Every structure is written in C-alpha cells, then in structure tokens.
Amino acid sequence: MLRALRSVIVRDLLLAVRRSSDVLTVLLFFVIVVSLFPLGIGPEPALLRTIAPGAIWVAALLASMLALQRVFAADHADGTLEQMLLGATPLGVVVAGKMLVHWLVTGLPLVLIAPVLALQFDLPQELLGVLTLSLALGTPVLGLIGAIGAALTLGLRGGGALLSLLVLPLYAPVLIMGAGATESAAVGLGGHAQLLLLGAFLVIAAAFAPWVAALALRISME
C-alpha cells in the first residue's frame, strides 16, 4: 500500500511539473485578488490591517476552488481513473496521495507567498507567523473538503457552479477560524484556540475525506 501511495505521489508530481501553467495560474490568481483589496479600499493603514486576515483567507479560498475541478478531471478523461477503481490499491489511499500532491503544488505556494503579500496591508511582522501557520493548517482542509465536491460533480455539465454551491458552505468554519487566528493574535489573545481547531479540522478531514471522496468517485463513475 505504501508503494502504491508513493507511485501515485510521484506520478502526480511529474504531471504537475508538465502542467506547470495550471499551478502558476492559481498562484497568479491569488496574488491578483489579494492585491486588489488595498487598491480598492485605499491607503488607510488601520483599515488595511483590520481586513488583512479576511482578505488573504478569502483569496486563498477562491484560489483553492479554482484548482479543484482539475483534481480528477484529467484522469477521468483519459481512463486512468477507471483503472484506479479496478486496481487492488484501496481508492481512498489513491485519493489521499492525489490530494497531498494537490496541496503541494497549489496550497503550499499560497502559504509561502502569503507573508509577502500581507506587507501590502501593513500587517505587523509578529502576526505573519500566525497567518502563515493558519494557512498551512487550513489550506489542506479546503483541499480535502473540495475533493469530495469535485468527486461528486465529476463529469457533470455545469459541474463548476454545482461544486461551488456544495463546498462553499463547508468552507465557512475553516475561513472563520483561519482569519480569526490572526485577528485574535492582533488583539493580544494569541490565536491558539483557532489554530488548535484548525489542527483538529485537519486531522478529521485527513482521516475521513479521502474515503468519502473515494465513495463519491465510485458513485460518479457508475
């Protein structure tokens, strides 16, 4: 099983390298959306510091959704997904490997560039670590929840709109906790409670979401 998981990870990483334009599209979208907030709101430093966590988190959420439709679409189009369904490796393990690669190529770049973009909002330097940690814990949860929606809407006409309706309500707790961690740290409360909740969300999502997504894939392929 570990060998199969390693094979899935290596394969998807190689495919991601070949389709690097998709990765750059998500990153560029994140940069543009975050940069539009200071331009639209104005140069008031206090206001920018107040909206910074929410603005960056909303941009990360939208960028995460932008990449969701491609998680299973290519494998579905060329028949690889059918072979995975028929293979001996549990489909949940395959989905877990694919979601790990998905976060590495789309979520991790957002986490790394977020502190740089936060400087546009005059965010204090001591809050950058909390912001980065909240994104590091929260973006995998967004991807895992989104994988379930992507599996359910696989192959459907207008699946993108339906996917948004399915996953956006489920994203709300992650968004609230993620932005709230930095806001709590800004007022001297540390943000530890929100970070712990994000960690709990990540553990639960990592344990169950791949198997739920695997079941959704089987339903979509029938």
SS3 (DSSP) at 68: helix
Q: What is the pLDDT of residue 217?
A: 87
Q: What is the pLDDT of residue 69?
A: 76
pLDDT average per 10 residues of sequence, the chain (222 residues): 84 84 88 90 86 92 85 80 81 90 92 92 89 94 92 77 86 93 87 93 94 89 74
Q: What is the pLDDT of residue 116?
A: 92
Tokens of 114: 């977020």
Q: What is the pLDDT of residue 158?
A: 66
| 128 contacts 115 by C-beta, under 8 angstroms | yes
Q: What is the pLDDT of residue 195?
A: 93
Cα(178)–Cα(76) distance, rounded to whole angstroms? 33
SS3 (DSSP) at 97: helix
Q: Which helix (H) or strand (E) holds 77?
A: helix 70-78
pLDDT in tens, 72-130: 877 887 777 888 888 778 888 889 999 999 999 999 999 999 999 998 898 888 899 99
The contacts of residue 213 (CB under 8 Å, 6+ apart) are 92, 95, 99, 144, 147, 148, 150, 151
Q: What is the pLDDT of residue 175?
A: 93
Task: Tell me the pTM.
Answer: 0.89
